[in-house]
Amino acid sequence: MQRRDFIRASMAAPLAGRIAVSAQTPAASSSPEFRKAFLEKFPWTELCTTPEDAMLLRILIESRGAKRGVEVGANIGYGAINMGIAFERTGGHLSSLEIDPANVRTANKNLESVGLSKSVTVVEGDALKVIPTLPAGIDFVFIDAAKPQYMGYFQGLEPKLVRGATLVADNVIQSARQMADFLSYVQSSPNYDSVVIRASMHKNDGMLVAFKIA
Ligand SMILES: C[S@@+](CC[C@H](N)C(=O)[O-])C[C@H]1O[C@@H](n2cnc3c(N)ncnc32)[C@H](O)[C@@H]1O
């Protein structure tokens, strides 16, 4: 990114509405500096993944070289931007499922602002209905929508996962009871290595990270 583009992008900040950073050119919007500034100014709410958890997702995708990702629950795209950056680097693609049309519009706008519309597709609809329509060959999954439905999402996704897929599920400490069937299945299955980790103490919560062995 040219220095003058970045300065122009930063100066546009107060005029940009919901997101207080905007870029003037496609090249400027996909620069690492602009994306970093955009994420720092993101209208983050408690529904968004924490910055540390989002960074862990990004690192997991990059280190695995994942190519076909699915996020269940896009909200306004904070996690999707972080994961999209990783999928852009691996040459892969993320399908991010979201039930709320207003969230879908905002997520698309945010992804467009940082030049990630090609790396991430936001799919509008109930994930329980959308998942069966997705093609097989998925190698990365992030489940982060309705907590009692985690088992339903997983049951739809599991037959489409490649061996060696990485599965991440959010809020597995605070909402453990609501997803007890899902946690019990994955944690006791010989087909998965899994661990609950806390990349962030912000919500006093954690993520299940699982690796599909067979
Ligand atoms: C915790 S937020 C997701 C945060 C997002 N993953 C991130 O990293 O910023 C949960 C989202 O799941 C969506 N959701 C809830 N039930 C859903 C369903 N059945 N299908 C698709 N999305 C759903 C909600 O509308 C909400 O936006």
pLDDT digits (tens, 9 = 90+) for 150-197: 999 999 999 999 999 999 999 999 999 999 999 999 999 999 999 999
Residue 22 pLDDT greater than 80, yes or no: no
Rounded (5°) CA angle 66-67-69: 85
The one-letter amino acid code at 164 reads G
Reported confidence tier of residue 7, pLDDT bands at 50, 70, 90: very low
Centroid of ligand 1 to alpha carbon of 24 (angstroms): 30
CATH of the domain at 58: 3.40.50.150
Q: Are both 9 and 105 inside the same structural domain?
A: no
Q: Are both 59 and 141 inside the same structural domain?
A: yes
Q: What is the model's pLDDT at position 24?
A: 65
Q: What is the model's pLDDT at position 26?
A: 76
Residue 10 pLDDT greater than 90, yes or no: no
Q: Are both 47 and 131 inside the same structural domain?
A: yes
If one residue of 49, 99, 155 were mutated to test the ligand 1 pocket, choosing by the most ligand atoms within 8 A of its CB, it would be: 99
Q: Please tell me if the CB atom of residue 120 comes closer than 6 angstroms to any atom of ligand 1.
A: no
Closest CA to 205 of 155, 144, 123, 162: 144
Residue 3 pLDDT greater than 90, yes or no: no
Q: What is the model's pLDDT at position 11?
A: 32
Residue ranges making up the domain that contains 23? 3-30
Q: Please tell me if the CB atom of residue 73 comes closer than 6 angstroms to any atom of ligand 1.
A: yes
Q: Are both 60 and 154 inside the same structural domain?
A: yes
The answer to whether 38 touches 21, Cβ cutoff 8 Å, is yes
Q: Please tell me if the CB atom of residue 49 comes closer than 6 angstroms to any atom of ligand 1.
A: yes
Place of tokens 């039930």: 99
Q: Are both 138 and 60 inside the same structural domain?
A: yes
Centroid of ligand 1 to alpha carbon of 9 (angstroms): 30
Q: Please tell me if the CB atom of residue 75 comes closer than 6 angstroms to any atom of ligand 1.
A: yes
Q: Please tell me if the CB atom of residue 127 comes closer than 6 angstroms to any atom of ligand 1.
A: yes
pLDDT above 70 as % of the chain:
89
Reported confidence tier of residue 20, pLDDT bands at 50, 70, 90: low
Structure token pair of residue 99? 């039930």
Could you read off the pLDDT of 88-144 as tens digits, one per residue?
999 999 999 999 999 999 999 999 999 999 999 999 999 999 999 999 999 999 999
Q: Are both 25 and 113 inside the same structural domain?
A: no
* Segments in 23-100 forming alpha helices (H): 26-29, 32-40, 51-64, 78-90
3-state secondary structure of 101: helix
Q: Are both 60 and 16 inside the same structural domain?
A: no
Domain count, the chain: 2
Q: Are both 22 and 108 inside the same structural domain?
A: no
Distance, in Å, from the CA atom of 55 to the CA atom of 41, rounded to the nearest integer, reads 16
CA atoms within 13 A on the CB side of 130: 16
Q: Report residue 192: phi and psi, to 5°.
A: -130, 135
What number does the ligand 1 atom closest to the CA of 77 have? 9
Q: Are both 22 and 127 inside the same structural domain?
A: no
Could you read off the pLDDT of 70-84 as tens digits, one per residue?
999 999 999 999 999
Closest CA to 25 of 115, 99, 107: 115
CA 82 from chain centre, in angstroms, equals: 7
Q: Are both 47 and 128 inside the same structural domain?
A: yes
If one residue of 38, 47, 155 were mutated to test the ligand 1 pocket, choosing by the most ligand atoms within 8 A of its CB, it would be: 47
Residue 148 pLDDT greater than 90, yes or no: yes
What pTM value is reported for the model?
A: 0.90
Structure token pair of residue 112? 């467009």
Contacts (Cβ under 8 Å, ≥6 apart) of 188: none
Q: Are both 23 and 67 inside the same structural domain?
A: no
